[in-house]
A and B are shown apart, each in its own frame.
Chain A
């Protein structure tokens, strides 16, 4: 049996079903509309596991599922040394979003990371604590800011409504996913010009940690059906 993890709700689930469907592999929810069980038709031996997109990286890393569809941002953020734990089989061409850093629009003196760093230094001197950046992407943002030599900041956790944290005075800047930037503008924030931390999209990942002894041949058949090059990853 080959287990494939797919986001359990919303547009990500629909788009994933569409992507597989267009390649002759039908996925559907079974049972009641809100029941998290599913079926795969077109290739024998594939079991559909409906999961929260945020949990799919962990399940891949633990090897409890063989394949999984989730955002490239989530895999990079949640898995240390992600390339050693999973491999990318195919970018799926949807779920595009950029992980960016944004600051209040009235900060006319801040446009680049260089400016953010200088503003953080002055902020710390004036307020006695480091400038707070609200995010849920801790690893990605910290690695990005370290690589770019930004100092005197701290990350504060925000699992949702991150754009509101500045107004609520729980952070001075944010690092979040945006596709159109509308929510940012509505919350009087602007994007730094050189701070695209990651360009994310939905990707079909394979786990390097799963047991492939039985699932290997099934993956070969599935890849053939999907028109993907035979993965030499496992």
Chain B
């Protein structure tokens, strides 16, 4: 059997298993409108996806993943609850030479269900873990929801919280911002100079003196941010005890059962995270009920922080021993994405994908 045929056979097996688990098979276009994807993922996706132009339909993208078209199809008129599965090629531009493929098969399983989110998390994880069990992969899990709750729980201004939340998926920037808001890093020189000048002169006059108003960003926009900067400079630094909770959370790595104990201690220090820690506990129970050993399951609170920015709750990935290989499977919860694509409507959603090419390779079939 050729490598491609072996991979397709592997994909068919997984596809059949997902259908046996109750998922309805769905199809998705390969050529997708680039605008939606660019709007969601930003400029990064342009480096990672093939963009092409169509004389009639404008800028199009070769499907970089199935999540967006599947969510769109569901939001346009799917019944609830729904379980979907799909199988097909995805395309990823590679900017570096190496083993990463630019075209490969994905088989996915997605659950849209309002009733018990933690049960749905466990269902997706346990299903994929069961299918991949013969490969003896290393599973890693995380929970973006706890991180988000911790930021929401800081006693600071809504603006600062929003700024931190916006960069949850960019760990370095998140850290830098947290350091500044907590007074651990000084304000940049230029900011201090600007604040100094603003103490004596009206912002409007400074803006006018600096140059003519060109472009779509208007003097009023500049003035609004200047006002925000003045307000921010007057804002008290985030309390050291709260920052310490966030630091401890970001560095938390343990087996899931021990992580729960640590999280409960952190919740005592920051009660705002208690509901999401309770959710974490319910998920562990649900995983345990499905036969997942939470005593050996790896958990890191920062896991998933550097993935594409749509996961907002439970996240997981399965890895082979070879660190050069991409994850064999990835997935997670993406409730907010359904709201973005649902034009006012939303539904809790969780899902995951398996790369049958890697499965076949690890089985020695290709």
Contact = CB atoms under 8 A, between A and B. Distances in A.
Q: How large is the interface on B (under 10, 10 to 19, 20 to 34, 35 or more residues)?
A: 35 or more
Contacts of B38: 154
Nearest to A171: B215
A11 interface: no
A111 interface: yes
Interface string B217-235: 1010110111001000000
B39 to A, nearest CB: 8
Contacts of B212: 106, 188
B114 interface: no
Given A111-B188, A154-B42, A104 B221 contact: no
Contacts of B73: none
A51 to B, nearest CB: 25
A121 B166 contact: yes
Interface in A78-103: 80-81, 84
A126 B215 contact: no
B173 interface: yes
A80 B215 contact: no
Given A126-B221, A152-B42, A106 B216 contact: no
Contact of B43 (A148, A153, A166, A171): A153
Given A80-B95, A81-B96, A167 B172 contact: no
Interface residues of A, number: 42
A1 interface: no
Given A114-B188, A152-B42, A106 B219 contact: yes
Contact of A105 (B47, B194, B211, B225): B211
A119 B225 contact: yes
A151 B174 CA distance: 12
Interface in B23-50: 38-39, 42-44, 46-47
Majority secondary structure, B binding face: helix
Interface string A159-197: 000000011010110000000000000001010010000
A38 B210 CA distance: 50
B82 interface: no
A108 B217 contact: no
Given A142-B47, A154-B42, A149 B213 contact: no
Contact of A122 (B42, B167, B203, B225): B225
Given A123-B221, A142-B43, A149-B167, A108 B210 contact: yes
Contacts, number: 112
B215 A104 contact: yes
B199 interface: no
A104 B97 contact: no
Nearest to A150: B173
Nearest to B188: A112
A108 B203 CA distance: 9
Nearest to B197: A108
Contacts of B211: 104-106, 188, 190
Contact of A149 (B95, B173, B206): B173
A75 interface: no
Contact of B225 (A104, A109, A167, A193): A109
Interface of A: 80-81, 84, 104-109, 111-112, 114, 117-119, 121-123, 126-127, 130-131, 139, 142-143, 145-146, 148-149, 151-155, 166-167, 169, 171-172, 188, 190, 193
Q: Would you list the 5 A-B pairs with minimal beta carbon distance, nearest first? A: A149-B173, A105-B211, A111-B190, A149-B170, A106-B211
27 contacts: A80-B95, A81-B96, A104-B213, A104-B215, A106-B219, A108-B207, A108-B210, A108-B222, A109-B194, A111-B190, A111-B191, A112-B188, A118-B225, A119-B217, A123-B217, A130-B39, A130-B42, A130-B43, A139-B95, A145-B43, A149-B176, A151-B170, A169-B216, A171-B215, A172-B216, A172-B217, A188-B212
Interface of B: 38-39, 42-44, 46-47, 95-97, 163, 166-167, 170, 172-174, 176, 188, 190-191, 194, 203, 206-208, 210-217, 219, 221-222, 224-226, 229
